[in-house]
């Protein structure tokens, strides 16, 4: 178990590619932290620097208070699980799990005890004599995790461990890794490009873009209070809708005008946005905060928007309406009783108490 600290960490690859810029991060003992962001944003590089598989160009990394910049991977007492499992094909499951301990000259009885314990935790006791090729993807990934568990490391590092699994198995393994974290109470750092994995697994999420950490917070805070437009658009599915427009003010009334529609702001949102009257801004609204007007008979007429339906996706429990205001596209998550068709006009209600606003120049959140 360990606290992991990154202090002003940079990774500059040959050719002057800065893959990680000034990363600062404090991961608490027993915490499950997920690094998430689009491909190429520097999350694997960050993880590999913690593991010792990449040199740190500038800055420091500490594990349990000890600076590890110059400590080789094998002496950092952490275990890494990779996307491609990296199992030895000619060895049985048992030997794949035992191998690292054998190399470290652990007594046979201790190795056996640890392998059997890990196999029990992961439900792979019946496959211990099999070779990896006789296992499914999910079972192979369990063996890879088992190989990490037997070492009882200070921290577990996961690099996209579920990417090679089919959708159903990914959901199952996601829950299993969360359960494992609960049981082992180890520090875990988990890299994924999948925002759903980040939301469902992390105690805290680190959102990265172009080598820069954008925001570090709990899943709910990231979802409800994104620091900028990038985070707002990256976390959430279907993604947040964005509307370009400006803030208008008449007397005490504050509104957002898109061009084709104008919606009133109220309460704290109006108070804050009044200061931006006349400015161009981007308004963000999540699909679940847009509903059909027919479902909201009491809606304030000043929050109603007309649009053309472009696509209707029946999800079973709800309907995703993809619509266009004449200027902006947006998605609404509405009740499954919705009977709108492509080409229909729809009146929707924007819940403006849930709206986000972002600056035109750098996308920072304005609320
Ligand atoms: P992610 O894990 O978020 O997909 P990476 O950490 O793998 O991103 O890569 C971050 C950036 O660093 C990318 O632009 C990638 O092309 C670059 N990069 C990764 N490894 C190397 C390398 N060995 N040499 C040069 N550039 C690299």
What is the rounded average pLDDT of the residues 20-40? Answer: 97
Tokens for 59?
Answer: 């800055």
Q: How confident is the model at residue 339 (pLDDT cuts 50, 70, 90)?
A: very high
Residue with the nearest Cα to atom 27 of ligand 1?
A: 13
Tokens for 48?
Answer: 């590999």
Q: Give backbone dihedrals phi and psi of 107, rounded to 5 degrees, phi first.
A: -65, 150
Q: Is 49 in the pocket of ligand 1 (CB under 6 A)?
A: no
Q: Is 36 in the pocket of ligand 1 (CB under 6 A)?
A: no
- First-to-last C-alpha distance (Å) of the chain: 38
Q: How confident is the model at residue 1 (pLDDT cuts 50, 70, 90)?
A: low
β-pair partners for 7: 60
Mutate to test the pocket of ligand 1, among 9, 11, 15, 19 (most ligand atoms within 8 A of CB): 19
Q: Is the whole model's pTM more than 0.75, yes or no? A: yes
**pLDDT of amino acid 169:** 87
What atom in ligand 1 is closest to the CA of residue 45?
6
**pLDDT of amino acid 205:** 98
Task: Say which residue the tokens 């990363």 belong to.
Answer: 23
Mutate to test the pocket of ligand 1, among 6, 37, 45 (most ligand atoms within 8 A of CB): 45
186-240: per-residue pLDDT in tens? Answer: 999 999 999 999 999 999 999 999 999 999 999 999 999 999 999 999 999 999 9
What atom in ligand 1 is closest to the CA of residue 211?
10
pLDDT at 275 over 90: yes
How far is ligand 1, taken at its centre, from the CA of residue 152, in Å? 29
Write down the mean pLDDT value for the chain.
Answer: 95
Q: Is 39 in the pocket of ligand 1 (CB under 6 A)?
A: yes
pLDDT at 361 over 70: yes
pLDDT at 272 over 70: yes
Angle of CA points 31, 10, 163, to nearest 5°: 55
**pLDDT of amino acid 86:** 85
pLDDT at 64 over 70: yes
Q: Is 151 in the pocket of ligand 1 (CB under 6 A)?
A: no
Residue with the nearest Cα to atom 1 of ligand 1?
A: 40
Residue with the nearest Cα to atom 14 of ligand 1?
A: 40
CB neighbour list of residue 12: distance below 8 Å, 6 or more residues apart: 18, 19, 57, 58
Tell me the C-alpha distance between 66 and 51, whole Å: 14
Mutate to test the pocket of ligand 1, among 6, 17, 83, 189 (most ligand atoms within 8 A of CB): 17
């Amino acid at each position: 178990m360990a606290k992991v600290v990154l202090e002003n960490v940079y990774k500059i690859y040959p050719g002057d590619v800065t893959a990680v810029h000034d990363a600062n991060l404090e991961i608490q003992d027993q915490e499950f932290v997920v690094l998430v962001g689009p491909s190429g944003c520097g999350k694997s590089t960050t993880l590999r620097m913690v593991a010792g598989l990449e040199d740190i160009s500038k800055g420091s990394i500490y594990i349990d208070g000890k600076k590890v910049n110059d400590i080789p991977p094998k002496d950092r007492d952490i275990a890494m699980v990779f996307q491609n499992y990296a199992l030895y094909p000619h060895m049985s499951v048992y030997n794949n799990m035992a191998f690292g301990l054998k190399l470290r000259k652990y007594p046979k009885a201790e190795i056996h005890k640890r392998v059997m314990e890990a196999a029990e935790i992961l439900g792979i006791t019946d496959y211990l004599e099999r070779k990896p090729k006789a296992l499914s993807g999910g079972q192979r990934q369990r063996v890879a995790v088992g190989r990490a568990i037997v070492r009882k490391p200070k921290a577990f590092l996961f690099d996209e461990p579920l990417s090679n699994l089919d959708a159903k198995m990914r959901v199952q393994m996601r829950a299993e890794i969360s359960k494992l974290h609960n049981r082992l109470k180890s520090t875990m750092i988990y890299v994924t490009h999948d925002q759903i994995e980040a939301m469902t697994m992390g105690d805290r999420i680190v959102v990265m873009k172009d080598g820069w950490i954008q925001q570090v917070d709990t899943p709910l805070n990231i979802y409800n209070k994104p620091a900028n437009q990038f985070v707002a658009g990256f976390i959430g599915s279907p993604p947040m809708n964005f509307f370009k427009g400006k803030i208008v003010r008449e007397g005490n009334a504050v509104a957002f005008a898109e061009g084709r529609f104008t919606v009133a702001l109220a309460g704290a949102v109006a108070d804050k946005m009044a200061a931006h009257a006349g400015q161009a801004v981007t308004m963000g609204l999540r699909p679940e905060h847009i509903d059909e007007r027919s479902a909201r008979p009491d809606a304030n007429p000043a929050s109603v928007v007309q649009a053309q339906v472009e696509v209707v996706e029946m999800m079973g429990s709800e309907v995703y309406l993809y619509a266009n205001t004449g200027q902006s596209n947006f998605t609404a998550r509405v009740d499954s009783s919705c009977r709108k068709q492509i080409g229909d006009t729809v009146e929707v209600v924007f819940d403006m108490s849930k709206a986000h606003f972002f600056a035109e120049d750098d996308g920072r959140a304005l609320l």
